[in-house]
Structure 1
């Protein structure tokens, strides 16, 4: 009888240890699964930030070209027309590089301007003469300040090495545009 009791007790203990061990494995599995989901979410967020930057850059670049073409036709000042042509040339080149990079990354860029960029085009289309020149240059200064901030953030904190490199490579051109925009804006203020 004692032998049976010892065997039953041993069996109960073994079953208890197995149950405890099974729980530990489940917790480890759950923890690993949670970590994998968190890592996947982080990677997805990082990719979304890069995609968002590229979409914003594409729309902004298209706007710069469209406004440059508009200014080349509507501007009164030769300095504004010269600046506008620089926008068309430089942003067309950058837009083409961005499209190529997006294709490599499997990212679809917008074919149309974002609403805020379209609004800027619409607002400037309604202006004429010196008023157009002043407003165009004012917008170019503000827009390039925003662009520089966005490109610096992407160059410093981006997740994809190629996208970071594109942002870093484009920054000197944007800074030059800002400098030229500020100089041209001062001239239009005296008109």
Structure 2
């Protein structure tokens, strides 16, 4: 009888300690605290922000156009701030995020960075228009997310992303 009680107590202890910690669930079972749509948004928005920052760093180094340089500085400041906010959400929700641009975006950055002068400025700003159209769409499609933290992030940052798109279009239209 003592053996049955001891074995039952051991089984209960093992069962109880194995299920408590969400971090353990994350580390061992790849569980997150958001649905698939929320995790996908975090990953895509992080990757897009990483791309904007990397491309803007290239633009700051290569462009001679004050408007393009000013736009690039705004991209770095705004996307770094948004990236920090999104990183905090990702950490709290146990979502792994990319550390840089994906292969497609890296190829675009590499292609644009081979250009110089007005050709660079035009290609960079066209890239910014296309990328921000996609980002605005991503943010718009992900509104009313099941995660309040993600939904608040979207509501706070969507107007900035729309402003980036409008600025990129305006600058692009002035370039020859």
- Provide TM-score, normalisation by structure 1: 0.72
How far off its partner does 1:76 sit?
A: 2.2
How far off its partner does 1:117 sit?
A: 1.8
Distance in 2, Cα, partners of 1:127 & 1:72: 13
Q: Does the Cα contact within 8 Å between 2:136 and 2:162 map onto a contact in 1? A: yes
Equivalenced residues, count: 144
- Which structure carries more relative contact order (alpha carbon 8 Å, separation 6+)? 2
Distance in 1, Cα, partners of 2:157 & 2:173: 25
What SS is found at the alignment partner of 1:138?
helix
Q: Which residue of 1 aligns with 2:147?
A: 160
What pairs with 1:148-187 in structure 2 (closer than 5 Å)? 148-156=136-144, 158-187=145-174
Q: Does the Cα contact within 8 Å between 1:50 and 1:160 map onto a contact in 2? A: yes
Q: Which residue of 1 aligns with 2:5?
A: none
Select the structure that is richer in helix.
Answer: 1
Q: Gaps (5+ residues) in structure 1?
A: 1-43
Tell me whether 1:75 sits opposite 2:63 in the alignment.
Answer: yes
Distance in 2, Cα, partners of 1:176 & 1:97: 19
Q: Which residue of 2 aligns with 1:85?
A: 73
What pairs with 1:1-191 in structure 2 (closer than 5 Å)? 47-156=35-144, 158-189=145-176
Distance in 1, Cα, partners of 2:38 & 2:154: 11
Q: Gaps (5+ residues) in structure 2?
A: 1-31
Q: Does the Cα contact within 8 Å between 1:147 and 1:174 map onto a contact in 2? A: yes
Q: Does the Cα contact within 8 Å between 1:59 and 1:117 map onto a contact in 2? A: no
The ranges of structure 1 where at least 4 consecutive aligned residues each deviate by more than 4 angstroms after the TM superposition are none
Larger Rg: 1
Distance in 2, Cα, partners of 1:82 & 1:132: 15
- Provide TM-score, normalisation by structure 2: 0.78
Distance in 2, Cα, partners of 1:71 & 1:101: 29
Q: Which residue of 1 aligns with 2:12?
A: none
